[in-house]
Structure 1
Amino acid sequence: MTHYFLAEPPASPAKTGVLLINLGTPAAPTAAAVKPYLREFLSDQRVVELPRWLWQTVLRGIILPFRSGKSAHGYQKIWQSEGSPLYVYTERSALALEQHLRKAMADAPLVAFAMTYGAPSVADTIARLKQQGVSRLLVLPLYPQYAASAGGAALDKVWQVLLQQRNQMSVRSISRYYDHPGYIQALAGKIEQHWQQHGRGDKLMLSFHGIPQAQHNAGDPYPQECRQTAVLLAQQLKLAESDYIVAFQSQFGKAKWIGPSTQDLLVSLPKNGVKKLDVVCPGFAADCLETLEEIALQGREDFYAAGGTQYQYIPCLNDDSAWIEALAALVQTHLHGWG
């Protein structure tokens, strides 16, 4: 089989780049825009580990025709004037990070962002960076805890680009930062600020995105890293074990997922005396459909319907200054001695 490599731009003085990668988002909150996004996302075998022929039949024949409209309705509830929250906050974070690094470093790197699925694509963004003279690239998927279906899928896109390069870039990657002190401190500061402004509930729920139990059984370290983040965060906030609970959201399909389930807890906690609940999603660097619609809106409805009296969603780090400082420290550590 003949392999054709991409044409390369002329050689130029070597520059360093930083690439932030997030999951992705449809271009508009419509079924027509959501469908191709979901098709790309759910076709990735990092996300759904089933035989391709079987899963594609189910995906195209059953899931996409029904889920596209439902997801579009969810996006309509959270869509901002500037666009998708995930896109908006990821773009702001990249711009803020580059500005911060310019002040902190004499030879600051270029900073760009891409999405694993949708636009801007990883391939297009790396091509643009290469046109700007970047030959050393630090890749940072914006997932604090590593999961093959998230951070692994993002890094796959980078390696696929390298396979097409005639003159390959030098690449470093940060696959996880679940225990980074700056990340933990930024999270704790966000929660403390919210409590100072709005008061504190009976319990703090740390809701992480879930993965199928089979993926964990096969060696995915994600649940342990989530729980370690929770322990470090609790220590930073000086919380007792009874003050918080770890849960996993966004279960999909009939397979067994890691637990406990966020949705199940939102129904059972009020019945067990927890009437006031604060919820934060430490596994998401930026607010998105899973945090703003699933947790902030639908979660509130479920909790109140089960007898809860106060429900407070604490936003993600987004482009908060403390988070940008932590992100800059993480990047500088991994760039040390390069170039």
Structure 2
Amino acid sequence: METRPLPHAPADHPPIRSGKVGVLLANLGTPEGTSYWPMRRYLNEFLSDRRVIDYSPFVWQPLLQGVILSTRPSKSGKAYASIWNKEANESPLATITKAQTAAMAARMQARYGDRVMVDYAMRYGKPSTLDRVREMQAAGCERILFFPLYPQYAGATTATANDQFFRGLMKLKWQPASRTVAPYFEDPRYIDALAASVERAYAAAEVEPDILVCSYHGLPKRYLMEGDPYHCQCRKTTRLLRERLGWSEDRITTTFQSRFGPEEWLKPYTVEEVARLAEAGKRNIAVIAPAFSADCIETLEEINEEIRESFEEAGGERFAYIPCLNDDAAHLDALAEIVAENLSGWI
């Protein structure tokens, strides 16, 4: 970073920091604590996002501010408490995202020296996207690459993260040039990292699983019919993973989790499908979550507790959860290459 006066500026003009490129990683977000009020603040911000819940605010907000936010924070708080990183007093998503950011910063430092600044932001909660954009601009970032850490595009994930990034730019008097990273659901390096994690898990298993369940976060089916490409991209990720592993079609399946509300969501539902598999004789399964770049409440609590319980109650015997790629070296190598390609022409 360089601090220099502006050309032709008066002698008393404040110095301007410049000459850096920012890489801003973005994830969903996290509550600041598991008690009622931190959970309520987080859920209110999350569930008020029209990209997530697109019902009319005149219908939705009275429900949200009434019965939902009166009861759901306590229930969600208990779920978060079961996975909370008590040593750091933060959610696993926060811990992992910090580790990913540090690993990415080290790779950018090795490649570009001090010319690239790497940081992270959360769509909901802290650190906010707006705060991070301001900090990068103040630190001399004349260009910012915004990278939503969602392999598959969805309006409720990638698009709302991008929306918030551009809202942050709207607040600045002097905007940096900006780019966003496209979804990487079919990138061979991402698929290779996924496949390597499956191969490690299978090699360590006492008994090889009968089937691998690829469980993606869910969306209302209506979103698919309105043009959201998420469902198709999930299916393609599963197919490419199967092909990379050299498996037949009967060894892997695609499901969707985390339903909310009365609408029909993308099917099959993971919680129901694992029970059906157990009843059909698949007593030994593995589950992986390719839509999540970092383990979080949906994987550590929903998959590893609720979905596991559904499988075991239906007669399942062995349930193996394969962790997200998190800060795995192959994962960060893949993401760093994607970043480098998107910085082309900037540095």
TM-score when normalising by structure 1: 0.95
Question: Which of 2, 13, 20 is the equivalent residue of 1:15?
Answer: 20
> Once structures 1 and 2 are overlaid, which stretch shifts more, 202-211 or 95-104?
95-104
CA apart distance, 1:53: 1.6
CA apart distance, 1:10: 5.1
What is the alpha-carbon distance in structure 1 between the residues aligned to residue 314 and residue 121 of structure 2? 40
Residue aligned with 2:173, SS: coil
Amino acid paired to 1:123: L
Q: Deviations 1:33-83 (Å, cap 9, x if unpaired)?
A: 111000000000000011012100010111111111110000011011222
Aligned 1:16-31 pairs, distance under 5 A: 16-31=21-36
Aligned 1:257-296 pairs, distance under 5 A: 257-296=265-304
Does structure 1 retain, via aligned residues, the 8 Å contact 2:20–2:115?
Answer: no
Q: Residue 230 of structure 1 aligns with which residue?
A: 238
Amino acid paired to 2:314: A
CA apart distance, 1:108: 4.5
What is the alpha-carbon distance in structure 1 between the residues aligned to residue 18 and residue 193 of structure 2? 36
**How many residues were matched structurally?**
331
Residue aligned with 2:23, SS: strand
CA apart distance, 1:104: 2.4
Residue aligned with 2:199, SS: helix
CA apart distance, 1:182: 1.2
Q: Residue 52 of structure 2 aligns with which residue?
A: 47
Amino acid paired to 1:286: A
Does structure 1 retain, via aligned residues, the 8 Å contact 2:308–2:319?
Answer: yes
What is the alpha-carbon distance in structure 2 between the residues aligned to residue 271 and residue 131 of structure 1? 58
What is the alpha-carbon distance in structure 2 between the residues aligned to residue 167 and residue 323 of structure 1? 34
Amino acid paired to 2:294: A
What is the alpha-carbon distance in structure 2 between the residues aligned to residue 270 and residue 276 of structure 1? 8
Does structure 1 retain, via aligned residues, the 8 Å contact 2:133–2:169?
Answer: no
Describe the shift of the 1:256–1:107 C-alpha distance in structure 2 as closer, same or farther (beyond 3 A): same
Question: Which of 255, 260, 275 is the equivalent residue of 1:252?
Answer: 260
Q: Deviations 1:77-108 (Å, cap 9, x if unpaired)?
A: 10112221000000110011010121123565
What is the alpha-carbon distance in structure 1 between the residues aligned to residue 156 and residue 164 of structure 2? 12
Q: Residue 203 of structure 2 aligns with which residue?
A: 196
What is the alpha-carbon distance in structure 1 between the residues aligned to residue 124 and residue 316 of structure 2? 37
Correspondence 1:181 to 2:188: yes
Question: Which of 82, 94, 109 is the equivalent residue of 1:77?
Answer: 82
Q: Residue 94 of structure 1 aligns with which residue?
A: 101
CA apart distance, 1:175: 3.2
Correspondence 1:115 to 2:118: no
TM-score when normalising by structure 2: 0.93
Amino acid paired to 2:116: P
Describe the shift of the 1:179–1:73 C-alpha distance in structure 2 as closer, same or farther (beyond 3 A): same
What is the alpha-carbon distance in structure 2 between the residues aligned to residue 104 and residue 158 of structure 1? 26
Amino acid paired to 1:216: L
Correspondence 1:315 to 2:323: yes
What is the alpha-carbon distance in structure 1 between the residues aligned to residue 139 and residue 29 of structure 2? 24
Aligned 1:102-181 pairs, distance under 5 A: 102-106=109-113, 108-181=115-188
What is the alpha-carbon distance in structure 1 between the residues aligned to residue 83 and residue 76 of structure 2? 11
Amino acid paired to 2:313: A
CA RMSD of the aligned region, Å?
1.2
What is the alpha-carbon distance in structure 1 between the residues aligned to residue 134 and residue 52 of structure 2? 25
What is the alpha-carbon distance in structure 2 between the residues aligned to residue 227 and residue 97 of structure 1? 28
What is the alpha-carbon distance in structure 1 between the residues aligned to residue 294 and residue 238 of structure 2? 18
CA apart distance, 1:266: 1.7
> Once structures 1 and 2 are overlaid, which stretch shifts more, 259-268 or 241-250?
259-268
> Once structures 1 and 2 are overlaid, which stretch shifts more, 100-109 or 59-68?
100-109
Correspondence 1:298 to 2:303: no
Q: Residue 207 of structure 1 aligns with which residue?
A: 215
Does structure 1 retain, via aligned residues, the 8 Å contact 2:214–2:253?
Answer: yes
Residue aligned with 2:28, SS: strand
Q: Deviations 1:293-312 (Å, cap 9, x if unpaired)?
A: 00011111111101001000
Q: Residue 62 of structure 1 aligns with which residue?
A: 67
Amino acid paired to 1:98: A
Correspondence 1:333 to 2:345: no
Q: Residue 6 of structure 1 aligns with which residue?
A: none
> Once structures 1 and 2 are overlaid, which stretch shifts more, 241-250 or 230-239?
230-239
What is the alpha-carbon distance in structure 2 between the residues aligned to residue 31 and residue 263 of structure 1? 27
What is the alpha-carbon distance in structure 1 between the residues aligned to residue 171 and residue 121 of structure 2? 18
Q: Deviations 1:106-143 (Å, cap 9, x if unpaired)?
A: 56511100000000000001111111101100000000
